[in-house]
Amino acid sequence: MAKIRDVAQRAGVSAMTVSRTLNQPDRVSPATRSRVLEAIKDLGYIPNAVARSLTQGRTDLIALVVSDIQNPFFTTVTRGVEDVAQRHGYTLMVGNTDEQMEKERQYLEVLVSRHVDGVILSTTGADQVRLLQERHIPVVLVDRVIPGIQADSVVIDVYDGGRKLMQHLYESGYRDITFIGGTPGNSTVEARLAGCLDGAHEAGRSLSVRLGRLDRASGEATLASLCDEGRVPEAIVAANNLVAVGAMVEMRRRGLRVPEDVGLACFGEIELASLLDPFLTVVREPAYDAGRAAMELLHQRIRGSTAPPVQRVLPVEVVVRRSTRRP
C-alpha cells in the first residue's frame, strides 16, 4: 500500500509537495506537479483518508439515524440524503434504532467517537441529541422535531395534511371516523393527529382516537380490538403507512372489505404499492425532498454557517384513491 512518502521518493520531492499537488495544485510548479501525478499513477497511490481526517479534524462522513430504514418513508429519505451527500463529497452511514433509546444512544456515541461531520436524525431522544451538540457536531432533524432541542429541521406539513384528509372524508360522506396508531410524544404523530382533530372540529364533528405504535403490528392489534369491541368505524385514518397495512391485514383476516365496509386512509405514500394498484388514499409526504433538504441544511452547517436554526416545512398532498370511495 503506497503511502505519500513513497510517492514523494519516486517523484524526487518531499511528502509535502505531494500533499500540495493533491490539495492545492496551483502552489506547485507545473513540472513538479506532472512528475508527482505520474508517480501517483505508477504506484496506484490512494491517499489515506483516515490519516487526513486526523490532521484536518474532519472526516467527510455524515450519518443518518432513523428508526427503521425499511419504512418506505425513511428509505426514500435515505435516498435523498445520499444523493446530496455524494454530490458534496460526503460518505453516508446509516443506523436503525427501532425506536429504542438505548440503541440510539449507543449509535450516537459511536458517531461521536468516529468524529462524523454531521448527523441527520429522526428520533425522539433529547439527551442523545445534546450529546452531539455539546460536541459541536451539526445536527439536522428530519420529520420529527424534539422539544427543547435547537437545531435545523425539515418537517412535513402533516397538520395541513390531516385537515385536508378529514375534509375529504367528510365530503365523501364519512361521519364516524377513528384515528389509529402512532406513538404519543412523537412530534409528527402529534401534528398529524392535531390536523385531523382540527379538521373534525371545523366540520363540527368528533373524531375517535386510539393511539398505539407506528408499526404494522400496532395496526393489526388496534383493528382487532376495535372489531372485538364492535366499534368498527365507517372510516379509519392510520397514523402511518405501516399501521394502515396492519389494519388492512387484520380487516382482511376478519372479512372486512375496504372500501365497501370500511374506508381507509393514512399518512405516507407506499410507493410501489400505489403504482401497482392505486388503491390507498394517502397524505403524500415528500420524503425524497425532505432527505435532500436535510442534507443541504447539514452541509451549510458543516461549512460553518452560524445562522439561527432553520425549520423547513414541506407541503403535502392528499391523494384520493379507491380506499375512501364510499359505496
Partner DNA sequence: GAGGATGATGTTACCGCTCACAGTACACGG
Partner DNA sequence: CCGTGTACTGTGAGCGGTAACATCATCCTC
Q: Which residues bind a second copy (CB under 8 A)?
A: 1, 44, 46-51, 53-54, 59, 61, 68-70, 72, 75-76, 78-79, 82-83, 86, 91-96, 103, 107, 109-110, 112-115, 134-135, 216, 241-242, 244-245, 248-249, 270-273, 275-277, 279-280
Return the residues of window 45-74 that contact DNA according to CB under 7 A: 45, 47-48, 51-52, 54-56
Pick from DNA, a second copy, none: which does 306 bind, CB < 5 to 8 A by kind? none
Tell me the window of 6-14, 145-153, 264-272, 310-318 that interacts with DNA (CB under 7 A).
6-14
- Burial degree of 88 (CB within 10 A; 0-12, 13-18, 19+): middle
**How far, in Å, CA of 124 to CA of 189, rounded?**
12
Which CB, 21 or 218, lies closer to DNA? 21
**How far, in Å, CA of 77 to CA of 74, rounded?**
5
Tell me the window of 41-49, 124-132, 220-228, 248-256 that interacts with DNA (CB under 7 A).
41-49
Residues in contact with DNA, shown as a per-residue x/- string from 20 to 39 under the rule CB under 7 A: x-xx--xxxx-xxx------
Q: Which residue has the cell 432527505?
A: 291
DSSP 115-139: T-SEEEE----HHHHHHHHHTT--E
Length in residues, the chain? 327
Which set of grid coordinates corresponds to residue 116?
Answer: 462524523
**How far, in Å, CA of 49 to CA of 65, rounded?**
23
User: Is the bond preceding 286 in cis, omega lying within 30 degrees of 0?
Assistant: no
A 10 A CB-CB count for 253 gives 12
Minimum distance, C-beta of residue 233 to a second copy, in the bound complex (Å):
19
Using CB under 7 A as the criterion, which residues of the chain lie in contact with DNA when the complex forms? Answer: 1, 3-5, 12-17, 19-20, 22-23, 26-29, 31-33, 45, 47-48, 51-52, 54-56
